Chain A
Amino acid sequence: MHSLIQFLARFGNTLLFVVLEIVALVLLFRYNDFHQSIALSSASCINGKIYETRERVTGYFLLREKNTLLWHQNGELEKKVARLEAALRQSGREESPLRDADEFGYIYARVLKNSVNQLTNSFTLNVGRTDGVEPGMGVTGPQGIVGIVSACSDHYSVAVSLLNVNAHFSCKVKNTDVVGSLTWHGGDTRYGWLEELPGYQMWNVGDTVVTSGFSNSFPAGLAVGRIESFDKTAADNFYTARIRLFTHFESLADVRIMYRTHYQEQRELEEAAR
């Protein structure tokens, strides 16, 4: 007993240091679990309030209201366009395939907090579970997709940004079947990387990149960016293209969360089948 006390008196601080570092590193390597535990993220009640207050101070009030209104109208119009295109297609006149009109709906949200200068960026939104938001839903901005919801509390949610070195988004080159995986390599917020592209004869510099529709988060055909240049990986036969992203992530303000209108039904079915 005596020697234990002596040991603690001598090495107690070092021991505490080591324990704290281990706790920090465990948190770091369980990044996703961290996001699941709402209390430790910016979706938590206190955090959400802090950022909401901040956003209220920084947002330009009148501009913002007008902007949000326009944003809603724009969304309705886009839906209408999609519906028209679906009608066109059904009547036999082939139209560049976009999304199925009513498969996806929108939840409008404002960005309370947004980071762009880390490697694993994320942003916080002012809507949560009570508004119908669920982890896994896609988030789009005025110029294209911006991220995927990763955690929700009752009134707030956190989304993983496109600018996240750990996130991958399934994308394709517009008007082709060339599918790749979009990710970010850190640093410049204007560029993403489309990885695992097959031979380059099938696509060109300047082509537009859109979502592939292979995930539950996004319908096919949402804008992402434009191919600016490409590299061939030495190890294998795949190409990596540098993509100029359409969205300006620094000024992210109004976004829409996309939900599948039959999501509930699908989930109930999946539950029942289990």
Chain B
Amino acid sequence: MNRTIVKHIVVALVLVLFQTLVLQYAGFLSFVPLVYLYAVLIWPIDMPVWRALLLGFLMGLAVDILLDCPGMHAAATTFVVYLRRPLLRTFLSKEETEGMEPGERSMGFLGFWKYALVMILCHHFVLYLVESFSWADPWMMLLRTLVSSLLTGLLVFLFERFRR
């Protein structure tokens, strides 16, 4: 158990740094893939919710601090971490096994992608909604949500190809 938690913290750290030091500069206009979310997607199904919430919040806060945008990523990530359990329960077709990590292999292609896409869309939507509170342009916000989700989805797809 301890080894898994260490592994997931390391994955989270690497993805946060990859996000803030590389990806943040790879986007065009205001569309950016937010791939640190992948760490949240693959946490074990039976990870205690309180631990997932804290980890998700800290991860979002780390991104916020590195990007100088307080609270946004923390709010969005905490939100989808809270959604994770019910979503997994909905889309999990097979039996839940102990310590299972969501993925194409463990959940089946369709099962995983339904779960992943809903997570990604919700995360990006909350993020851009929270970001634009002081400034209203709903169409731009929706466009950013959709395009960025697409970019994130593509990267998650790539990551899944290289997974074990």
- Chain A residues near B (Cβ < 8 Å): 12-14, 16-17, 20-21, 23-31, 34-35, 40-42, 44, 47, 50-51, 54, 115, 117-120, 122, 124, 158, 165-166, 185-189
Contacts and interface: CB of A to CB of B under 8 A. Distances in A.
7 contacts: A20-B74, A24-B78, A27-B64, A28-B130, A42-B68, A119-B132, A185-B135
B30 A117 contact: yes
B42 interface: no
Nearest 4 interchain pairs by C-beta: A28-B71, A27-B71, A24-B75, A34-B70
Contacts of B17: 50
Contact of A35 (B53, B67, B68, B131): B68
Contacts of B67: 42, 115, 118
Nearest to A22: B75
A12 B134 CA distance: 32
Given A42-B68, A117-B27, A23 B140 contact: no
A24 B131 CA distance: 12
B30 A118 contact: yes
B142 to A, nearest CB: 13
B65 A117 contact: no
A158 B68 contact: yes
Given A16-B50, A117-B30, A119-B135, A24 B69 contact: no
Contacts of A158: 68
A120 B135 CA distance: 11
DSSP class of B's interface residues: helix, strand, loop or mixed? helix
A50 B53 CA distance: 26
B60 A24 contact: yes
A54 to B, nearest CB: 5
Contacts of B60: 24
A165 B134 contact: yes
Given A28-B130, A119-B135, A17 B140 contact: no
A29 B50 CA distance: 25
A30 to B, nearest CB: 7
Nearest to B62: A47
Nearest to B131: A119
A41 B147 CA distance: 28
B79 interface: yes
A16 B54 contact: yes
Contacts of A31: 70
Contacts of B134: 165-166
Contacts of B70: 27-28, 30-31, 34, 40
Nearest to A115: B67
A188 B137 CA distance: 14
Contacts of A40: 65, 70
B136 to A, nearest CB: 10
A42 B21 CA distance: 12
Contacts of A188: 29
Nearest to B27: A117
Contact of A186 (B53, B54, B61, B137): B137
B100 interface: no
A135 B75 CA distance: 28
Contacts of B132: 119, 186
Nearest to B67: A115
B14 to A, nearest CB: 13
A189 to B, nearest CB: 8
A57 to B, nearest CB: 9
B66 A186 contact: no
A21 B24 contact: no
A118 B75 CA distance: 16
